[in-house]
Amino acid sequence: MRLHLIRHPKPVIESGVCYGRHDCPAEDVVSVAGALLVELPPGLAVWSSPLRRCRELADRLHVRPIIDTRLAEMDFGLWEGRLWDEIPRAELDAWAADVAGYAPPGGESPRQLQRRALDFVDSLDVPEAVIVTHAGVIRTLLAHWQGLPPERWTELSFAYGSCAVIDIPR
């Protein structure tokens, strides 16, 4: 199966804010969509995170994108909407010590995010698909398929509005 994994355009939010599930709009949606439509094969189904910054783009890529909650960004729980500098140092240190397994208070861990994203991919029954989602979802999927250990997951970086294409065996 071939997947076109698209990261949403840059969100409209204050710099330095933890915004995982925070539902904010995106910048430059029209131009990002135009560039992607040139490179994507025509006629593919499009799946999207329910968050606005993804939905706005998906709506421009397909007349009826399919919304799936499993494509939402990581739930940062009590960290959501807070400045990273305001999050207790001990909690950030705990996350750094267990990159995949630590869940912020009231949130989910990257490993939990990875499980739900893989569950979504396993549910697909198409040879090729477009998925509009978030850096965390893309990072954990590619880390899984590349066999990267959790301490290397952060090495995977994706620009806003970019598309990573991967072929995975079925």
Judged against a pLDDT cut of 90, whether residue 142 lies above it is answered with: yes
Give residues with Cβ within 8 angstroms of 101, minimum separation 6: 109, 110, 111, 150
pLDDT given at position 132: 98
Instruction: For residue 169, name the pLDDT band (cuts at 50, 70, 90).
Output: confident
Give residues with Cβ within 8 angstroms of 90, minimum separation 6: none
- Contact by Cβ (8 Å): 71, 47: yes
32-52 average pLDDT score: 97
> pLDDT (tens digit, 9 = 90+) per residue, 63-115?
999 999 999 999 999 999 999 999 999 999 999 999 999 999 999 999 999 99
Tally of domains within the chain: 1
The C-alpha angle with vertex 112 and arms to 44 and 80, in degrees rounded to 5, equals 90
Q: Which residue has the tokens 């267990």?
A: 98
| Residue percentage of the chain with pLDDT more than 90 | 98
Judged against a pLDDT cut of 90, whether residue 21 lies above it is answered with: yes
Residue range of the domain that includes 14: 2-167
CATH number, domain with residue 28? 3.40.50.1240
pTM above 0.85, yes or no: yes
Average pLDDT, the chain: 96
